[in-house]
Structure 1
Amino acid sequence: MSSPPPPSLRALQAASIAILTSTAGLSASLSFFVIPRLLESPTPVLIRQFSRMLSAAHAALPLPLVLPSLLHAYLAYRLPGRARLLYAAAAALTLSALPYTSAAMMPINRKMLAKARAVEAAGAGAGDVLVEEITADEAETAHALADSWALRNLYRPAVAFAAGAIGLYAALS
């Protein structure tokens, strides 16, 4: 039986698990609670609020995805045997959210931010008629984009939770 890791590594294990599981909950809440409420809004309001949600999420979520992957990579480097493989897998899984976000989420973000700029340029009293002219293509309506964003966003909390669970398993084994 191997000796338990030193308290400093235990603290890193706990921090990575706490950060990842908290991030999973926060990110999932955007898809399960925020976007459905936005979809109930008139188009100009949805566009403005989606833009504000993106700004808040960009301020809060990137670090909780990068930091745990670095912690897991360090733990994989420091701990021997099976734990090394588990932490390496958790680090890779966590980091997979970054290219996924760039490929799957950023195109939607750019389209919605362009719509937000168009609504702001049109003025506060733009109304639905102007927004319908801006979003004439049905597949590109603000509501369809927000719905697509919510679905695609589910990958990020899933991998954060899975990486946290792998980290917990590695810490307990």
Structure 2
Amino acid sequence: MPSPPPSIRALQATSIAILTTTAGLSASLSFFVIPRLLESPTPVLIRQFSRMLSAAHDVFPVPLVLPGLLHAYLAYRLPDKLRLYAVAAALSFTTLPYTSAVMMPINRKMLAKERTVEAADVGAADVLVEEITASEAETAHALADAWALQNLYRPAAAFAAGVIGLYAALS
């Protein structure tokens, strides 16, 4: 079988690089960022969680969609590898409904907590900590912990799609 043209090789390499990089970045949120946030007092946790979501939102939308589109195009262009690229594309695209159905409710709850913290508008964090009851503190920490656990699907799916794309490119 002849080697694919350089443009196809570039698309293969791009999709693999984006997926594996995205998998690592997304996993780092669950394994490194959230555990550090869980050590923080509740108001700090809530504010920092919101900032983390904002930063992640700025970085992750394109890496979630582009590899799926690239794999769908590769499935179209390389019919002998249609199944592999179609599976990789489908797996890449599953992160979008998963994020919407599973992650967004947690995000909305934490953002509501942030509005509560901001509404208190107290200058000293110690005073604000006293105003937040123990049950609210547990809830914020529980939400962050749940987010970290639920987030693990996204890097796993991205990594699996990247591995499938790599296998398709090398086979």
Q: What's the TM-score once normalised by structure 2's chain length? A: 0.95
**Structure 2 counterpart SS, 1:135:** helix
Give the aligned partner of residue 132 of structure 2: 131
Give the aligned partner of residue 26 of structure 2: 27
What's the offset of the Cα at 1:129? 2.5
Separation in structure 1 between the aligned mates of residue 134 and residue 30 of structure 2, nearest angstrom: 27
Separation in structure 1 between the aligned mates of residue 9 and residue 133 of structure 2, nearest angstrom: 55
Q: CA RMSD in A?
A: 1.3
Does the 8 Å contact 1:118/1:134 carry over to 2? no
Identify which of 85, 98, 101 aligns with 2:99.
101
Does the 8 Å contact 2:12/2:169 carry over to 1? yes
Does the 8 Å contact 1:115/1:134 carry over to 2? no
Give the aligned partner of residue 153 of structure 1: 151
Identity within the alignment, %: 76
Separation in structure 2 between the aligned mates of residue 38 and residue 22 of structure 1, nearest angstrom: 23
Q: What's the TM-score once normalised by structure 1's chain length? A: 0.94
Task: Give the counterpart letter for 1:99 in structure 2.
Answer: P
Give the aligned partner of residue 170 of structure 2: 172
Task: Give the counterpart letter for 2:130 in structure 1.
Answer: V
Listed as ranges, the gaps of 5+ residues in structure 1 are none
Separation in structure 2 between the aligned mates of residue 27 and residue 154 of structure 1, nearest angstrom: 8
Q: Which portions of structure 1, spanning 4 or more consecutive aligned residues, are displaced by more than 4 angstroms?
A: none
What's the offset of the Cα at 1:128? 1.6
Task: Give the counterpart letter for 1:132 in structure 2.
Answer: T
Listed as ranges, the gaps of 5+ residues in structure 2 are none
